[in-house]
Copies of this chain bind each other. A is one copy, B any other.
Amino acid sequence: MITFALDCAGKTAGVAILKDDTLLYESYLATGFTHSETLLVLINSTFTATNLTPADVTCYAVTSGPGSFTGLRIGLALIKGLAFAHNTPCVAVSTLEGLAMSCVIPQGTVLCALDARRNEVYYAAFEKNQESYSRLCKDSAGPALEVLSAFKNCKKPLMLIGDGAKICYNMLENKCDTLLYPADYRSGRAGSVARIGFAEFMAGRAICAAQLQPCYLRLSQAERERKEKLAASQAN
């Protein structure tokens, strides 16, 4: 069984292939070029290096949010296209859960944070114990300071991961028992997305390409401004 995973929910991009439960291939790109320029190159390299084609893929896993709205749309559209061609099952993976799975600390709390701009983060927290992790809260969005305060009394060490990790870390007055995940691995790896996709597929929770949906958690800037305008015009 082949699981193909794609992550482009943030500024970096990653692709991975699992054969059954073995990681065959993983790539990570952080050049700053747009996903629309780089993703097809990355995906093509993945198939070439592993000597596989889309017809060999049993399941596609893709980070479906939270994250950059444009990134999520590009990633989901791309996977929908690949999966549609062979009617391949898909799994939508929480970007934050993918990050937690990438974090290899033996134990403690993993706070996954994505930069949601304006000092806010998308976040979720997990308690890690060796190879298992349990979710402490659902995927949410909120001001970084409030998020940190909510996990003040969590099991230590508190490990911060994700492209919003540094925002949180820099806000902390007391950095004792809090660690910033090493920069090279802070945006996670697509192999973790593949692992979650494989587990969900095996648990019978895969869906068809048409059912894949982004999970934005917030309104887009355009929707927010439209709502504010409407509210203002109703107030007048």
Contact = CB atoms under 8 A, between A and B. Distances in A.
Interface in A1-32: 22-31
A28 B33 contact: no
Nearest to A195: B184
A129 B29 CA distance: 28
Interface in A33-91: 33, 38, 41-42, 45, 48-51
A88 to B, nearest CB: 20
A98 interface: no
B23 A182 contact: no
Contacts of A50: 29, 31
Given A49-B38, A105-B104, A25 B33 contact: no
A182 B104 contact: yes
Contact of A41 (B24, B48, B192): B48
B25 A182 contact: no
Among A22, A26, A105, chain B packs the most CB atoms within 10 A around the CB of A26
Contact of A25 (B28, B106, B130, B191): B28
A181 B48 CA distance: 29
Contacts of A24: 29-31
A192 B41 CA distance: 24
Interface residues of A, number: 35
Main secondary structure of the interface of A (DSSP, over half): mixed
A87 B30 CA distance: 27
A215 interface: no
Interface in A203-233: none
Nearest to A21: B183
Contacts of A33: 51
A131 B182 contact: yes
A142 interface: no
Nearest to A32: B24
A151 interface: no
A31 B51 contact: yes
B23 A106 contact: no
Interface of A: 22-31, 33, 38, 41-42, 45, 48-51, 104-106, 130-131, 157, 179, 181-185, 189, 191-192, 195
